[in-house]
Structure 1
Amino acid sequence: MSPSSSSSPYCYKKGSYTVDDLEETERRKRTLSSSSLSWTSSRSFSQGYRSSSSAPSSSPSFSSMSWTSSSSSYSHSSDSSGVHLALLEMAKKNFTSSYKKAILDDVYVQQEPLGKGGCGTVFGGYRRADSLPVAIKYIPKEKVTYTEVTVDGNLLRIPTEVLLQRIVAGASVGESAAVTLLDWVDLGQQVVLVLERPVPSMDLFDYIMERGGSLPEHEAKSIVEQLVDALIEFHQKGVVHRDIKLENIILQTGSQVPVVRVIDFGCSCAQTDEEYTDMAGTFDYFPPEFFGEGSYRAVPYSVWQLGVVMYTMLFGCFPFNPFDDITPQEPQMNNEQLSQCGQAFLKNCLVKDPVSRATLPDLLFHPWIHL
Structure 2
Amino acid sequence: MEQPPSPPPRTILGKYQLTRFLGRGNFAKVYQAHSLLDGATVAVKAIDKSKTVDAAMEPRIVREIDAMRRLQHHPNILKIHEVLATKTKIYLIVDFAGGGDLCSKPPRRGRLPESLARRYFAQLVSALRFCHRHGVAHRDLKPQNLLLDAGGDLKVSDFGLSALPEHLQDGLLHTACGTPAYTAPEILRRVGYDGSKADAWSCGVILYVLLAGHLPFDDSNIPAMCRRISRRDFQFPPWISRAARSLIYQLLDPNPKTRIKLENVFDNAWFKNKNSARVNAEESVFESDLYNKCCDGYKLGMNAFDIISMSSGLDLRGLFETTSDKGRRWEKRFTSDKSVEAVEAKVKEVGLNLGFRVEVGKNGAIGLGKGKVALVVEVFEIVPQLLLVAVKVVDGGVEFEDLHWDDWRIGLQDVVLSWHHNHDNLVTLSH
The TM tier, using the shorter chain, reads 0.5 to 0.7
Give the whole-Å Cα distance in 1 for the aligned partners of 2:175 and 2:81. Answer: 29
- Identify which of 336, 339, 343 aligns with 2:241: 339
Is residue 2:93 matched to residue 1:194?
yes
Query: Which whole-Å deviations, capped at 9, do the CAs of 1:317-347 have from their partners, x for residues lacking one?
Result: 1111361112234221123x21111100010
Q: 1:359 to 1:196 in 2, by over 3 A?
A: same
Give the whole-Å Cα distance in 1 for the aligned partners of 2:26 and 2:57. Answer: 12
Aligned to 1:25: none
Q: 1:112 to 1:164 in 2, by over 3 A?
A: same
- Identify which of 115, 125, 143 aligns with 2:33: 125
* TM-fit CA distance, 1:198: 3.5
* TM-fit CA distance, 1:127: 1.1
Give the whole-Å Cα distance in 2 for the aligned partners of 1:188 and 1:304. Answer: 41
1:93-104 pair list within 5 angstroms:
104=12
RMSD of the alignment, in Å? 2.4
Q: 1:118 to 1:160 in 2, by over 3 A?
A: closer
* TM-fit CA distance, 1:107: 0.8
1:76-225 pair list within 5 angstroms:
104-139=12-47, 140-142=52-54, 144-145=57-58, 159-170=62-73, 175-188=74-87, 190-199=89-98, 201-207=99-105, 209-225=106-122
Structure with the bigger RCO (C-alpha within 8 Å, sep 6+) is: 1
Give the whole-Å Cα distance in 2 for the aligned partners of 1:300 and 1:284. Answer: 16
Q: Please, which runs of 5 or more residues in structure 1 have no aligned partner? A: 1-101, 148-157
Query: Which whole-Å deviations, capped at 9, do the CAs of 1:102-139 have from their partners, x for residues lacking one?
Result: 98231111121111143322111121111111111123
Q: Please, which runs of 5 or more residues in structure 2 have no aligned partner? A: 1-9, 274-431
1:283-322 pair list within 5 angstroms:
283-321=180-218
* TM-fit CA distance, 1:316: 1.5
- Identify, as 1 or 2, the structure richer in helix: 2
Aligned to 1:34: none
Give the whole-Å Cα distance in 2 for the aligned partners of 1:289 and 1:248. Answer: 22
Q: What secondary structure, in the 3-state scheme, does the structure 1 residue paired with 2:84 have?
A: strand
The worse-fitting range, judged by mean Cα deviation, of 287-296 and 260-269 is 287-296
Q: 1:329 to 1:321 in 2, by over 3 A?
A: farther
Give the whole-Å Cα distance in 2 for the aligned partners of 1:346 and 1:204. Answer: 18
Q: What secondary structure, in the 3-state scheme, does the structure 2 residue paired with 1:239 have?
A: coil
Give the whole-Å Cα distance in 1 for the aligned partners of 2:180 and 2:27. Answer: 15
Give the whole-Å Cα distance in 1 for the aligned partners of 2:232 and 2:59. Answer: 39
The TM-score, its normalising length taken from structure 2, stands at 0.54
Q: 1:164 to 1:293 in 2, by over 3 A?
A: closer
- Identify which of 270, 280, 289 aligns with 2:164: 270
Structure 1 runs (4+) greater than 6 angstroms displaced:
none
Give the whole-Å Cα distance in 2 for the aligned partners of 1:311 and 1:123. Answer: 31
Aligned to 2:280: none
Aligned to 2:133: 236
Aligned to 1:247: 144
Give the whole-Å Cα distance in 2 for the aligned partners of 1:115 and 1:244. Answer: 19
Count of residue correspondences: 250
Give the whole-Å Cα distance in 1 for the aligned partners of 2:218 and 2:123. Answer: 27
1:66-85 pair list within 5 angstroms:
none
- Identify which of 349, 354, 362 aligns with 2:264: 362
Give the whole-Å Cα distance in 2 for the aligned partners of 1:295 and 1:332. Answer: 29
Query: Which whole-Å deviations, capped at 9, do the CAs of 1:279-328 have from their partners, x for residues lacking one?
Result: 23222211111222433211111101101111111112111136111223
Task: Answer whether contact 1:202 1:253 (CA < 8 A) is retained.
Answer: no
Q: 1:111 to 1:308 in 2, by over 3 A?
A: same
Letter matched to residue 301 of structure 1: A
The TM-score, its normalising length taken from structure 1, stands at 0.62
Letter matched to residue 133 of structure 1: T
Letter matched to residue 67 of structure 2: L
Identity %: 26
Query: Which whole-Å deviations, capped at 9, do the CAs of 1:12-54 have from their partners, x for residues lacking one?
Result: xxxxxxxxxxxxxxxxxxxxxxxxxxxxxxxxxxxxxxxxxxx
Give the whole-Å Cα distance in 2 for the aligned partners of 1:211 and 1:252. Answer: 20
Q: 1:105 to 1:181 in 2, by over 3 A?
A: same
Larger radius of gyration: 2
Q: What secondary structure, in the 3-state scheme, does the structure 1 residue paired with 2:100 have?
A: strand
Aligned to 2:387: none
Task: Answer whether contact 1:229 1:364 (CA < 8 A) is retained.
Answer: no
